[in-house]
């Protein structure tokens, strides 16, 4: 295989790992500035050298931060794309925008406006996205500044004279026919109207009216989204509000794991039955038809002190490991999970201690698994380098035929190497953010072994693009 093909495949995999894990925020070992500069370089490098592949990454399970960056860079460099590239980019951008949270899209539009990116394709894509929004009045109330910026940037008229007055001349009308707009107007002087608004809008009015926080949370609870309930549940309880509750049985697995890790250990112990049942239910929903099909699985899970990450990404690596623990248990026929700390109670894990990955990998291999999955940031330090040596000897001498499938999933971007930190060249490594993506990432990781090149990777990406666009119906 030509060397340039292997290099291109490696570059795409490196960028994909970054796009899954990096968010330009502080990590345990590197600061926010390092993260941002490293990620900006990767985006520029991929855009300049592999525009088609850079675009294709939009069809993968990358995080919202990098999806928005890719879209911004593609729109800003439209003149560099061929007509065929522009058609593909337009379809992928339109589909990806429908998956991004609205507030992130409005922030993207504000960034495009600041950067003076306003070509015809950009305006057309924004026009279509705005036209597809299900409730323009809701967006106008909740994201008012963003909607105004978007309309101005895309050179679009407001969707109706009433909404135009609300956005640009709010005092021009004494009454609005749209119920939500009228509720917003009444909330300026009527406390009861506050509780009919979206939570984030109602918060500002509650402060203006001097409403006690506990009373406000109790009455606004029915208007909260699931994420808002989860985020505020513990603070509401501390303030004496009792109505803010969320149904944990339907929460996504990794988000639920983050919530559990944010609880005090005493609360986790007291609610063990409830929390364990919710985590197992989420894991089985994620596993789906693949439940129980992975045979004997051994998992090495990193709960060392660095799994805390930072104040911006608090316990995010540990949440990925905890979610993976329950998902692997659902996927496997039998699963043996080993935490680096030696703890046996997954519900009570916390970031603590060093990272003896080498010892835990040895223990895991001794169980005779069909598959070994390692979830760690890759900082093997007790002793340093032992994990790499164990994996080298295992793969080179004890299991050269690859009877045991070994994969390393890393939830942390390493700014210094422009990639996630790898344990050993003998073992494929892939970035992971949400444990829900674990099965597909295990499949993607085999491209990182160097045994497959660019044609195979292109075929994989083409398949993912087709599936990605098909899920959105007829793409615009």
Residue with tokens 């305006």: 123
pLDDT of residue 235: 63
User: What's the pLDDT band for 179 if we cut at 50, 70, 90?
Assistant: very high
pLDDT tens per residue, range 22-64: 999 999 999 999 999 999 999 999 999 999 999 999 999 999 9
pLDDT of residue 1: 47
pLDDT tens per residue, range 117-154: 999 999 999 999 999 999 999 999 999 999 999 999 99
User: What's the pLDDT band for 423 if we cut at 50, 70, 90?
Assistant: very high
Q: Tokens at residue 350, please?
A: 């916390």
pLDDT, average across residues 9-29: 92
Please state, in angstroms and rounded to a whole number, the distance separating the CA atoms of residues 203 and 197: 9
pLDDT of residue 193: 95
Task: Classify strands 419-420 and 413-414 as parallel, antiparallel or unpaired.
Answer: antiparallel
Strand partners, 297: 335, 371
Please state, in angstroms and rounded to a whole number, the distance separating the CA atoms of residues 364 and 14: 27
Enumerate residues 6+ apart whose C-beta is below 8 A from 331: 287, 290, 291, 292, 293, 294, 297, 439
Q: Give me the CATH code for the 254-451 domain, please.
A: 3.40.50
**Spans of all domains in the chain:** 3-205, 254-451
pLDDT, average across residues 219-224: 86
pLDDT of residue 473: 41
Q: Tokens at residue 261, please?
A: 């890790």
Task: Classify strands 413-414 and 334-339 as parallel, antiparallel or unpaired.
Answer: unpaired
270 vs 1, higher pLDDT: 270
């Amino acid at each position: 295989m030509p060397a340039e093909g292997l290099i291109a495949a490696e570059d795409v995999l490196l960028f994909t790992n970054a796009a899954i894990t990096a968010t330009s925020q502080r990590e345990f070992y590197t600061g926010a500035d390092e993260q941002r500069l490293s990620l900006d370089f990767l985006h520029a490098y991929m855009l300049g050298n592999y525009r088609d592949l850079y675009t294709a990454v939009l069809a993968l399970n990358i995080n919202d931060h990098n999806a928005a960056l890719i879209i911004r860079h593609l729109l800003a460099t439209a003149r560099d794309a061929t007509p065929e590239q522009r058609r593909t980019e337009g379809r992928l951008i339109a589909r990806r925008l429908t998956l991004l949270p609205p507030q992130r899209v409005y922030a993207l539009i504000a960034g495009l406006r600041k950067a003076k990116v306003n070509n015809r394709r950009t305006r057309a894509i924004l026009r279509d996205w705005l036209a597809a929004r299900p409730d323009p009045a809701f967006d106008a109330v909740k994201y008012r500044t963003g909607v105004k910026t978007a309309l101005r940037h895309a050179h679009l008229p407001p969707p109706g004279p009433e909404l135009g007055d609300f956005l640009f001349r709010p005092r021009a009308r004494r009454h609005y026919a749209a119920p939500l707009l009228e509720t917003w107007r009444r909330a300026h002087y009527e406390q009861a109207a506050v509780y009919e608004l979206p939570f984030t809008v109602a918060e500002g009015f509650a402060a203006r009216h001097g409403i006690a926080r506990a009373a406000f949370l109790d009455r606004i609870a029915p208007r909260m989204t699931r994420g808002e309930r989860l985020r505020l549940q513990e603070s509401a309880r501390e303030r004496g509000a009792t109505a803010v509750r969320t149904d944990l049985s339907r929460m996504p697995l990794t988000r639920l794991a983050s919530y559990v890790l944010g609880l005090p250990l005493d609360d986790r112990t007291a609610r063990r039955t409830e929390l364990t049942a919710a985590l197992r239910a989420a894991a089985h929903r994620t596993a789906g038809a693949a439940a129980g099909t992975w045979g004997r699985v051994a998992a090495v899970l990193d709960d060392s002190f660095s799994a805390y990450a930072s104040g911006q990404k608090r316990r995010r690596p540990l949440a990925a490991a905890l979610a993976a623990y329950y998902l692997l248990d659902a996927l496997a026929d039998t699963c043996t999970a080993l935490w680096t700390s030696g703890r046996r109670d997954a519900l009570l894990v916390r970031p603590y201690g060093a990272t003896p990955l080498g010892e835990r990998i040895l223990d895991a291999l001794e169980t005779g698994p069909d598959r070994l999955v390692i979830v760690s940031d890759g900082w093997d330090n007790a002793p340093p380098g032992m994990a790499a040596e164990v994996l080298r000897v295992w793969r080179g001498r004890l299991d050269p035929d690859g009877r045991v499938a070994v994969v390393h999933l890393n939830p942390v971007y390493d700014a210094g190497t422009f990639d996630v930190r790898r344990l050993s060249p003998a073992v494929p490594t892939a970035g992971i953010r949400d444990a829900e993506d674990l099965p597909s990432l295990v499949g993607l990781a085999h491209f990182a072994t160097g045994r497959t090149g660019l044609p195979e990777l292109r075929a994989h990406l083409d398949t993912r693009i087709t599936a990605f666009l098909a899920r959105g119906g007829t793409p615009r």
